[in-house]
Amino acid sequence: MNRLRVTRLPFLLFLMLAAGFPAIAGGTAEDSVPDSVVATGSAVAVPSASGSGSGSAAGVDVAWTVEGDMLTVTMSAETTGWVAVGFDPTRMMADANIIIAYVADGTLSISDHYGTGNTRHGADTDIGGSDDVVNARGTESNGRTEVTFTIPLDSGDEADRPLQSGGTYKVIVAYGRDGSDNYRDPHAARGSFEMTL
């Protein structure tokens, strides 16, 4: 009888793990998308296994790729004003690493901001941090603004929250009204989704 228990135990354990694995692993990518979408248009990003993924909320499309210790992001929205993405806020915009940009007369303006409060943000350089955006480029065409930039996963800047490859983070997005070529005008739409790096 003891021998029977010992031989069946690995098989039973295998069956239990096989049956429970989808639930443990979070199910399929399709199962991980919530049934309800908030009024701002939030959505859940479905990452690929190669360190890249995409997500969309409130009319802002975001795609990302992790290469080594760097994160490259492309964000776009149907606006001729600013577009922004923020990573890992603690509440609303608070503590998020926010990148905000606009294109005016063919020239890109982009800035590394920090969520200084639930509904406030300011340039990292204004609060003792550094602007860590590199390799930035942007276009404005047919009423749509698209911006690509690279930031370190962990800049060491106190005004940036460190990110880790494989981690899951909340992403906030927003864009300004047409012609909002500055970092001050209020948003026309905003939303959020989850990203896995």
How confident is the model at residue 128, as a pLDDT?
86
Nearest Cα to Cα of residue 101 among 64, 67, 131, 126: 131
Question: What number of helices (H) and strands (E) belong to the chain?
Answer: 1, 11
Helix or strand run (H / E) with residue 182: none
Angle made by CA atoms 62, 66, 70, in degrees to the nearest 5: 105
Nearest Cα to Cα of residue 86 among 117, 107, 109: 117
CA dist 116 → 49, 109, 168, 175 (Å) = 33, 21, 22, 19
43 with 58: CB under 8 angstroms? no
Q: How far apart are CA 51 and CA 74, in angstroms?
A: 14
Q: How far apart are CA 4 and CA 62, in angstroms?
A: 55
Polymer length of the chain: 197
Phi-psi group of 93: left, alpha or beta (phi > 0 → left; psi -120 to 50 → alpha; rest → beta): alpha
What's the predicted TM-score (pTM) here?
Answer: 0.74
Query: pLDDT tens digits, the chain, 197 residues: what are they?
Result: 444 444 443 433 333 333 333 332 333 232 322 222 222 343 444 444 357 899 999 999 999 999 999 999 999 999 999 999 999 999 999 989 999 999 999 999 999 999 988 888 989 889 888 999 999 999 999 999 999 999 999 998 888 889 999 999 999 999 999 999 999 899 899 999 999 99
How confident is the model at residue 116, as a pLDDT?
86
Q: How far apart are CA 171 and CA 141, in angstroms?
A: 25
How confident is the model at residue 110, as a pLDDT?
97
How confident is the model at residue 169, as a pLDDT?
95
How confident is the model at residue 136, as a pLDDT?
97
Block residue for tokens 């962990």:
154
Q: How far apart are CA 104 and CA 18, in angstroms?
A: 55
